């Protein structure tokens, strides 16, 4: 297979980036998308050119490191698929592909297809934890969790923090990601002690990081490789409102 690739090249955040055209003639339909880029990088390196920088780690859809836009779609054309799990058999000989990094103010460029997603780490640090002691496994029946809640928490916990939701959102909102993290812990008994604090602190951190506001467009859900549902945003908003009212009532009582 042959492909024409237009790839965003940007030396560092201080340089102006541009799309550079590559004719890739060594594409095998059994390759993953990242393997296809690996082969292109080997060719570039052999010619003494700078290889294309892109993020990756597990290459099996679980770490959340990979991700860029393929023809304007975050993680490319296959639903529920990270770019590392996307295979070249989904493309045709002669296809023209445009590869660009996530574009959002809160994800500044690093190099080529790599952006800085440490804003997500700071949102997690603001509240994505519990204070219940961990350690050896407890008896399964010690903390009873209704099956429905366990399933919903598990669905939310599937978020890998890739950032595709932000890249796809016209507002560059981080609502799906943050809603998933707040839902995951807020649905479980172990997550109750910090539930209010978690919602207030994580949402405050989202604002500080300059993500946009959610206006229920739904592009995030459409591109999410882990099929996180918009309902996590509703759950986040409910937790945030309840926590704000509780905080207001507590302040009023203190003032009495
Ligand atoms: S919600 Fe989906 S798209 Fe957003 S960071 Fe999590 S896994 Fe990625
Ligand atoms: S490299 Fe880990 S999810 Fe793609």
Concatenated DSSP letters of 117-159: -HHHHHHHHHH----S--SSPPPTTTS---HHHHHHHHHHHT-
Residue whose CA is at the smallest distance from ligand 2 atom 3: 61
Which of 35, 56, 87 to mutate for ligand 2's pocket (most ligand atoms within 8 Å of CB)? Answer: 56
Ligand 2 atom with minimal separation from the 59 CA: 1
Q: Tell me if 65 CB under 6 Å of ligand 2.
A: yes
| Residue 127: pLDDT band with limits 50, 70, 90 | very high
> Model confidence over 204-244: pLDDT tens digits?
999 999 999 999 999 999 999 999 999 999 999 999 999 99
Torsion of CA 218, 222, 228, 231, to 10 degrees: 30
Residue 74 in contact with residue 168, Cβ under 8 Å? yes
Q: What is the CA radius of gyration of the chain?
A: 21
Answer whether 163 contacts ligand 1 (Cβ < 6 A).
yes
pLDDT tens digits, 179-208: 999 999 999 988 999 999 999 999 999 999
Ligand 2 centroid–CA 226 distance in Å is 12
Read off the pLDDT of residues 23-78 as tens digits, 9 standing for 90 and up: 999 999 999 999 999 999 999 999 999 999 999 999 999 999 999 999 999 999 99
Instruction: Say yes or no to pLDDT of 256 above 90.
Output: no
Closest listed ligand to the CA of 83? 2
CA 106 vs CA 67, 70, 167: distances in Å = 16, 20, 10
More confident residue, 256 or 214: 214
pLDDT at position 140 over 70:
no
CA dihedral 174, 176, 179, 180 (to 10 degrees): -120
Average pLDDT, the chain: 95
| Helical ranges in 169-230 per DSSP H | 175-186, 195-208, 219-223
Residue 253: the pLDDT is: 84
Q: What is the pLDDT of residues 90-104, one digit of tens each?
A: 999 999 999 999 999
- The position carrying tokens 């799906």 is 176
Q: How far is the CA of 31 from the centre of ligand 1 (A)?
A: 24
Tell me if 162 CB under 6 Å of ligand 1.
yes
Kindly give the distance from the C-alpha atom of residue 196 to the centroid of ligand 2, in angstroms, as a whole number.
Answer: 32
Q: How confident is the model at residue 131 (pLDDT cuts 50, 70, 90)?
A: confident
For a mutational test of ligand 2's pocket, the pick from 32, 38, 63, i.e. the residue with the most ligand atoms closer than 8 A to its C-beta, is: 63
């Amino acid at each position: 297979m042959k492909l024409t690739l237009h790839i965003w090249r940007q030396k560092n955040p201080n340089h102006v980036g541009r799309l550079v055209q590559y004719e890739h003639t060594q594409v095998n339909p059994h390759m993953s998308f990242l393997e296809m880029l690996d082969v292109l990088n080997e060719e570039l390196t052999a010619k003494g050119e700078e290889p294309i920088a892109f993020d990756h780690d597990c290459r099996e859809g679980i770490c959340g490191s990979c991700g860029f836009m393929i023809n304007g779609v975050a993680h490319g054309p296959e639903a529920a698929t990270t770019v590392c799990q996307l295979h070249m058999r989904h493309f045709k000989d002669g296809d023209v592909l445009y590869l660009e990094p996530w574009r959002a103010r809160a994800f500044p460029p690093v190099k080529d297809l790599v952006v800085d997603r440490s804003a997500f780490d700071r949102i997690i640090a603001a509240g994505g934890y519990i204070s219940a002691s961990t350690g050896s496994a407890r008896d399964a029946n010690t903390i009873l969790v209704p099956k429905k809640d366990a399933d919903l928490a598990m669905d939310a916990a599937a978020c890998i923090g890739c950032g595709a939701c932000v890249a796809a959102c016209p507002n560059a909102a981080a609502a799906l990601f943050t809603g998933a993290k707040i839902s995951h812990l807020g649905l479980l008994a172990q997550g109750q002690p910090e539930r209010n604090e978690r919602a207030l602190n994580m949402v405050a951190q989202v604002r500080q990081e300059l993500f946009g506001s959610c206006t229920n467009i739904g592009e995030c859900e459409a591109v999410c490789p882990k099929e996180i549902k918009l309902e996590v945003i509703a759950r986040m908003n409910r937790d945030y409102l309840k926590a704000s009212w509780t905080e207001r009532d507590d302040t009023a009582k203190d003032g009495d």
